[in-house]
């Protein structure tokens, strides 16, 4: 027995199926990565890692909870136009889309302590898929 579909329903079903495939592929390619970053004079700490490195894949959504332990500090990545300031006891949370592969410097841009400007640094590594 033949199943006859109306002429207008079939293109809509094909378009809906294509949309679901594209949405599914996008969700698979993009994942959310969460990091806790703290700053104290002259050092960032990323989670419990031995070095201040955030490593993600291109197209990941990166969530950061950033806190300062001693004096105000910033979390700055110029290439991603990120500059978030945290006061001691007042963490800030933000997200960004890691849409460029490469290594990017994380630094404190506050001039409260000249040594912070020189030494407080980390790295965002965005690996290509």
Q: Using one digit for the tens of pLDDT, what is the confidence trace for 4-42? A: 555 566 665 555 555 555 545 444 457 999 999 999 989
Q: What is the DSSP letter of 113?
A: -
- Report, in this order, helix, strand and coil percent for the chain, each rounded to 5: 25, 45, 30
* Domain boundaries along the sequence of the chain: 31-127
**CA separation for the pair 92, 26 (Å, rounded):** 28
Given a cut of 80, whether residue 46 has pLDDT beyond it is yes
**CA separation for the pair 76, 74 (Å, rounded):** 6
pLDDT value at position 26?
47
- The full 3-state SS of 47-76, as one line of letters, equals CCCCCCEEEEECCCEEEEEEEECCCCEEEE
pLDDT value at position 30?
74
Higher pLDDT, 78 or 7: 78
For residues 65, 67, 73, 77, the Cα torsion angle rounded to the nearest 10 degrees is -20
pLDDT value at position 117?
82
pLDDT value at position 41?
82
Average pLDDT, the chain: 86
pLDDT value at position 112?
78
**CA separation for the pair 67, 24 (Å, rounded):** 35
Inter-residue contact 107 to 37 (CB < 8 Å): no
Residues 75-92, mean pLDDT to the nearest whole number: 97
- 31-127 is a CATH 2.60.40.420 domain: yes
């Amino acid at each position: 027995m033949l199943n006859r579909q109306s002429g207008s329903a079939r293109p809509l079903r094909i378009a809906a199926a294509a949309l679901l495939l594209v949405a599914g592929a996008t969700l698979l390619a993009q994942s959310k990565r969460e990091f806790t970053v703290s700053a104290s004079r002259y050092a960032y700490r990323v989670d419990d890692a031995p070095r201040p490195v955030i490593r993600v894949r291109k197209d990941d959504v990166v969530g950061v909870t950033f806190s300062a332990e001693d004096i105000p500090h910033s979390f700055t990545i110029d290439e991603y136009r990120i500059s978030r300031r945290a006061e001691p006891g007042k963490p800030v949370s933000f997200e960004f889309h890691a849409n460029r592969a490469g290594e990017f410097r994380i630094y404190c841009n506050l001039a409260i302590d000249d040594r912070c400007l020189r030494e407080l640094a980390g790295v965002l590594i965005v690996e290509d898929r």
